Chain A
Amino acid sequence: MSEMNEKLVFDRPKSVIDRATHYCPGCHHGVAHRLVGELLDEMDLAEKVILTTSIGCSVFLYNYLNVDAVEAPHGRAPAVATGIKRARPEHFVFTYQGDGDLASIGMAEIIHAANRGEKISVIFVNNTVYGMTGGQMAPTTLIGQTTTTTPAGRCMTHEGAPIRMTEIIASLGGVAYAARGSLDNVKNIRKAKKYIKKAFEFQLSGTGFGFVELLSACPTNWKMTPLAANERIQKEMIPYFPLGVFKDVSEEGGIC
């Protein structure tokens, strides 16, 4: 009886499939997936979408979104998405890539797709490690951060400095929009959704390339509780990877 009176106040977006998650507790991929799913619903994009997934934990995004999808080789998602968009310019094409995929092995593909101003959107999940392979150093790993391949901590003189992708992308000619958000708290999550929406709008208007970086937690590979991982984003990541809009061709200004 009481069940009959229960009122559903929070549900999955229509574009998100009802299935158990394979992500670890405290992982932010689920939050990022949901933001994308909400926007596909709100912007009525689900029937227009061709999703390009990448390699790493996020390859399984195609199991969670109820849209057509293709699996790109490691780092190549922006090239695959370029091919899809050039073949079907009327469709909505986006990639979803982690930091190992996008900022290391896929550096050439992301830079050139952005520079050509491909009319695609890129969601870049930065959690400072290779997640799926077990927590090795990524291009975004912070100085001093211990990983399975930097057991003594990342060292500037041996491994170089962590790469700030959004700043690099913002400097390229074909880019319409580049922003960095964070998924560590509700305020930031709401802001991140606005960034993603803006990037999507730039594709729909045919303006140019849209890029949104999302600072995310990987508690398992950071060897932290989900709460401590969230705190790390605030204390360590945001100071090095500042949040905000780095390029927005629709308005003067932004951070740059």
Chain B
Amino acid sequence: MTKQAERIFVKGNEAIARGALAAKCKCFFGYPITPQNDIPEFMSSAIIKAGGDFVQAESEIAAANMLLGAGAAGVRAMTSSSSPGVSLKQEAISYMAGSEIPAVVVNMNRGGPGLGDIGPAQGDYYQSTRGGGHGDYRHFTLGPATVQEAYDLTIRAFDIAFRHRTPVLILGDAILGQMKEPIVPWEPENIDDEPGRDWCLDGKTPDREKRLLKSLFLQEGELAGQNKHLQAKYDAWEELTECEQFETEDAELVICAYGSIARIAKSAVRKFRSQGKKVGLFRPITLYPFPSKELKALAEQGKRFLTIEQNLGQMLDDVRLAIRTVADSDFYAIYPGNLPTPDELEEPILNSLEGK
């Protein structure tokens, strides 16, 4: 990896688009929906200049299926949307998971259910981490918390997608997408596309068998075999979890939060630390696979937990599953359209710290 010295000041949405271009993304398929419009708008010219192609699709359904086609052809491609649009993409995501077609999907989470609002929210955590479409599958989900991380994780998303032949979801939110921060762009030196391209559709030549990417398995035992194969793949991902731990070492209370909410929680942790109170932050970066082992290790040290999310308690399930044999977690809900200041988190944190 080479770091370019130059810093740029960009929105999270633009950082994702730039990260995709740095990762040699060749096709982008978009559809307008707030708050992610900067991504297709930026890509409509930038990816063409980079020698790729851009299509404004007729729907999020079509955009995701174009993504399926480009991925099947073994070409790095991406689509982006926000919550209601991502629901529509679930059909193609399920097919891509079943057919093991690599692709990168971005969800700049907005409020829901239904049309919701256009502000930040984390209501799509279940959809993002449980396989949001039909059938029994999972896909990688990455949860950036800063604009720089949005850039970095987009590059990583392409490597994961092609290395593991899976759709990868980048789960941001309206704040991350719309917020400007300085970032240092960088270009990956090697495109990590293991396990090679011996599966992709590039025309059957006489020296090889034809290739078929499908998710239909009608013969007896065939689908069970495919599902077992997928399960083994997902199990192997448990080694690839990533998280940030901030001031957790001597913490009595560990706050579990991801994305934008984790940033606010981090500010609150700093304030508590300045008052000598032992509070830390556990921030999953891979939301699926969830960093359960890392969290359980903290629980085994006798720490207590408070999960804070901008939803009614979704990641809370993963936190509890991780620590279930040794501890439990309190929960504090933030509702859509109401982004708290660090000071507003003081009371729930204090309550948990004091065991109230």
Contact = CB atoms under 8 A, between A and B. Distances in A.
A109 B29 CA distance: 14
Most chain-B CB neighbours within 10 Å: which of A81, A109, A111?
A109
Interface string B89-101: 0011001000101
A86 B205 contact: no
A95 to B, nearest CB: 10
Given A50-B73, A86-B53, A76 B61 contact: yes
B121 interface: no
B188 interface: no
A218 interface: no
Contact of B65 (A48, A72, A91): A72
Most chain-B CB neighbours within 10 Å: which of A48, A62, A88?
A88
A47 B205 contact: yes
B214 A71 contact: yes
B202 A83 contact: no
B327 interface: no
Contacts of A49: 203-204
B70 A62 contact: no
B26 A87 contact: yes
A47 B204 CA distance: 5
In terms of DSSP, what is the predominant structure of the interface of chain A?
A: mixed
A21 B278 CA distance: 71
Given A68-B201, A73-B95, A82 B69 contact: yes
Interface residues of B, number: 41
A191 to B, nearest CB: 29
A204 interface: no
Interface of A: 46-50, 52, 59, 62, 66-73, 76, 79-88, 91, 108-109, 111-112, 116
A71 B216 contact: yes
Contact of A112 (B58, B206, B215): B58
Nearest to B208: A68
A48 B202 CA distance: 8
Contacts of A87: 26-27, 53, 69-70, 73-75, 77
Contacts of A76: 61-62, 65, 68, 91-92
A84 B70 contact: yes
Interface in B27-55: 27, 29, 53, 55
A62 B27 contact: no
Given A62-B212, A79-B62, A88-B73, A72 B205 contact: no
Most chain-B CB neighbours within 10 Å: which of A59, A82, A87, A108?
A87
B67 interface: yes
10 contacts: A70-B68, A71-B95, A72-B65, A76-B68, A76-B91, A80-B69, A86-B27, A87-B53, A91-B202, A108-B59
A71 B213 contact: yes
3 cross-chain pairs, A with B, having the tightest CB-CB distances, nearest first = A83-B69, A83-B66, A87-B75
B201 A83 contact: no
A46 B101 CA distance: 23
Contacts of B62: 76, 79, 82, 108-109, 112
A70 B72 contact: yes
